[in-house]
Amino acid sequence: MCAQQTTGPIRILIVEDNPADVFLTREALNGQGLDLHIESLTDGELALSYLAREGEHPVADIPDLIILDLNVPKIGGPELLRFIRHTPELCHVCVVILSSSPHDVIGDAAAQASCYIQKPATLREFLAIGEKIIRVLDECKAMGA
């Protein structure tokens, strides 16, 4: 079953190829004043091997939260999400999709995610998503408990 860490920093994995967005997301999350351990990967293949603890990440911890951009190189977001949901150890991990496309364009791809957030166009709005992500994580935890 899913290994649920109850103590220590919250482990967050960001899968996003755009470093500007990774930076902004980190800023937004750090702005929440929590103990966070944020890991970011730039393509789907890396993310897959990380989650499967292969290649460069043989001993990686299972994250508490995965922030996923759908449009990542090599292995796309929807496929990654499917892998997560079909792997027993990962299936309960909270996954937030952060995409530049509007929700109605994404369609079914986001159905298995815990939450979908469109990347905001202004700085203020962007920094506000940190709070929203943490809230979703809390809800996920509450449900898992």
Residues that bind other proteins (CB under 8 A): 18, 20-21, 24, 100-101, 104-105, 119, 121-124, 126
Kindly tell me which of 7 and 122 has the beta carbon lying closer to other proteins.
Answer: 122
**Which residue, 37 or 103, has its beta carbon nearer to other proteins?**
103
C-beta of 74 vs 119, nearer to other proteins: 119
Name the residue nearer to other proteins (CB basis): 91 or 111.
111
The whole-angstrom separation of Cα 67 and Cα 72 is: 12
Q: How far is the CB of 54 from other proteins (least distance, A)?
A: 30
111: which 2 tokens? 């159905």
Beta bridge partners, 87, equal none
Using DSSP, state whether 51 is helix, strand or coil.
Answer: helix
Q: Coil, strand, or helix at residue 19? A: helix
The least distance separating other proteins from the CB of residue 142, rounded to whole angstroms, comes to 31
Q: How far is the CB of 100 from other proteins (least distance, A)?
A: 5
Q: Kindly state the smallest distance separating residue 123's Cβ from other proteins, in Å.
A: 4
Helix (H) / strand (E) element for 135: namely helix 123-144
Q: Is 33 left (phi over 0), alpha (psi -120 to 50) or beta?
A: left
